[in-house]
Amino acid sequence: MSTTTKKYQTLVFRVQALTNLHAGSGDSFYGAVDKLVQRDPATRRPTIHSHSLKGALREFFESELGYGAKSDFVKYVFGSPVSGDADAAEQGQFRFFSADLLALPVPDENVNSKTAFKLTSSDDVWAAFAQKVALLGGDKWTKDSLKTAFQSGATFDMNANQFAEAAEELPVIARNQLDNGESKNLWYEELVPHQSVFGFLVQAPIDLTNGEKLNAKQDFIKSLNNTVIQVGANATVGYGYCLLTLLNPTSES
């Protein structure tokens, strides 16, 4: 009896935050900040965990595009709904990876500048992401070709430590619940500022057999390329609206 190893195409997405983003970690910082953003446990830079992105994309297809939670497409890509019979649950066939922060806006200290901020990054950050892309089956990009493909507009005037420090000092805003003008609940929330750029990988099956959805990858790409989705909390106050752009379309796509 022979078995066939499923093959995948690694899709590389650019994720640009169009509005401030709060993908929450569920942690607080000793009471100073009530709601922190998600961070990579190794680098401590802001990230968007894979389960948060997968959930946001699932919500987009189910609600915004009207596929519904029980559609064959949604079950094939994302798996069965969380609720329901656990014994009958189906695993999704696509693989989702966390989004890595690649560029971050910081206030421009030049008073003569025509912009309020500059998008900053570090060569080390892009080299690490290029290695990740290559190891996970993506195109063999160098850090320089990735920077060109992403068209981030970032200046690379920081080393890894300086970028880590900039990523550690994210803006914090006060949020308040009012009842007839009276403050009932004041809390502080950390944000990833708008214009930040992330890199995000998805692996989609290309060895489609046994009746699997032949058009799932094409539908997935067509629906998400150059598309705005909402990620994280506080959608009703405009947080988390991100532009996704596919950077490696192929003839198979």
Is position 120 within any domain? Answer: no
Whether the pLDDT of residue 208 is over 60: the answer is: no
For residue 28, the model assigns a pLDDT of 56
Does a structural domain hold residue 154? no
Residue 185's pLDDT band (cuts 50, 70, 90): confident
Range of the structural domain that residue 21 is part of: 10-102+170-246
Structural domains counted in the chain = 1
Taking residues 6-26, report their average pLDDT: 92
What DSSP string runs through 16-80? EESS-B--B-S--BTTTBSBPBPB-TTT--BEE-HHHHHHHHHHIIIIIS---TT-HHHHHHHBS
For residue 73, the number of C-alpha atoms closer than 13 Å in the C-beta half-sphere is 19
The CATH number linked to 219 is: 3.30.70
Residue 131: inside a domain: no
Residue 100, amino acid = D
Q: Is residue 149 part of a domain?
A: no
Q: For residue 164, tell me if it sits in a domain.
A: no
Domain assignment present for residue 94? The answer is yes
Cβ neighbors of 235 (< 8 A, separation 6 or more) are none
Report if pTM > 0.75.
Answer: yes
Q: Work out the average pLDDT over 87-105.
A: 91
Mean pLDDT confidence for 143-147? 89
Q: What is the mean pLDDT of residues 119-143?
A: 91
Region 202-221: mean pLDDT is: 76
213: pLDDT strictly greater than 60? no
Give CB contacts under 8 A, 24+ apart, made by 142-149.
Answer: 146/199, 149/12, 149/14, 149/247, 149/248
Band of residue 2 on the pLDDT scale cut at 50, 70, 90: very low
* In contact, 176 and 183? CB cutoff 8 Å: yes
Beta bridge pairs of residue 197 = 16, 103
Q: What is the pLDDT of residue 214?
A: 59
Indicate whether 212 belongs to any domain: yes
DSSP state letters, 6-19: PPEEEEEEEEEESS
By mean pLDDT, which of 6-15, 148-157, 190-199 is the weakest? 148-157
Please calculate the CA angle 136-53-6 and round it to the nearest 5 degrees.
Answer: 40
Encode pLDDT of 39-87 as tens digits: 999 999 999 999 999 999 999 999 999 998 888 899 999 998 866 666 6
pLDDT exceeds cutoff 80 at 122: yes
Q: What is the mean pLDDT of the chain?
A: 86
Residue 156 covered by a domain:
no
